[in-house]
Structure 1
């Protein structure tokens, strides 16, 4: 039985805890928040053995096998490293870090401690995406020519917490990381940034970004925003067909179109329970098999994503 602790129990942690209840061989054991009142409130909604008002105390609890870190972005590096050094397997909410340098620190710590770490890129684990990857790998749409992604929503400062703060704010870290992760998974590394258009607030936080990428002749497109609505979609174009993924950050279906027939086929591949479940099952299996990283979302994958993110952000100036 893998006993989980949650550090930083905001909205997304509630969804994680709800999904964890469905996973065999794992259960929620502890939660840590900034105050005992908040920790106990979370515990009341998601029953577990103990509640802490100190993150380090949770890490020092010998009963905890793994931790889910759902803190604001800027605290990931500190608490991931502390968790790894405490011998706790780590699933850290995306983005794992604010920079490729920070991600390298995590990779080095994970390797030094020989403890499991994975960035929580749940979109890679849902059944629909696993089927899409299998089709692409089999050559069902031929050689991939381009990967175009758009994930834009109106998100106001009144609705936000840290999302509009310098350093850890901006649409790229919050939503664009999904676009970049999809592109990283389907285009060979290194991916080069060819052009970036953007809109920023006075404090330098990007609220709209569209970036053109390229790798070995394959073209990529990232569109991310806090200030407009677009269709959330990824379009993967190959030499003999195309796959269109609605809500690619949490897909439950996709449309396959083959060039020779020009007929589109909708394939529904529903979640197992919810969009968190498959990711958690994967992590639990990795821990049980004594793996130190995931073959689907490895340390190298996270390093690549952080590097692409950094290259795009480097093009954004006031």
Structure 2
């Protein structure tokens, strides 16, 4: 299925603004998932002055057949200057909300958790009012590494389940559905004040019932935010699209998600994990999370 339907067409961006964001990224030698993963919304997001930063990359130690990020069993050592360069980009772009994600770094004992922590600290030093969302890998089930990330107090912790359990072996062979759910559940236990978030792709051969079951599984562990978007094949060597899902079906999933208790469901053909992520600041105001960890409350988020 190679012909994209009308609803998957994107508007041409204003290249002057896009060029400004790209100039900052090139000047500071930073990677974005927008570019590395061939996101269809890159024009819209760069035009709006936003980006999702990809740390510890651009090469990934996993070779998921849906993903366009390069694979490397032995990626480069972590760059100690990356957190400061990232923080400077956030300052220059005047971001109110920043999303930091990473490649899988299964070669590192903590899966890269310490680099997430350093990046958050650097951002808060330069832009203390900026809210932070981290989109993390499964850390190979290293829950001490997860605790380390949560101790740095991100406002949102995102981890994608990506697809339905039946398709994991084909779509996400090095992942584990149960482990991903456990990661999100442990987030809630370790820090009741953090907003938890997950996302799935559709169009890979899943059924409507399977999608709804994933949604119910996520709500059973009190996941707050869900994104659902159409999978698009990056190249001929990647998994093919099995179906283009209609906007009406995405609306039905959004309505179902809201009915079962998600605080926010972003569901559309072009939705990606960090699409319109800055809207979470408004969600924080209307649905404040309370909780104490180690005797200390979260306090003000700057939202």
The two structures share one fold, judged by TM-score above 0.5: no
Higher relative contact order (CA 8 A, sep 6+): 1
Larger Rg: 1
* Category of TM-score, reference length = shorter chain: 0.3 to 0.5
TM-score, normalised to structure 1, is 0.36
TM-score, normalised to structure 2, is 0.38
Greater helix share, 1 or 2? 2
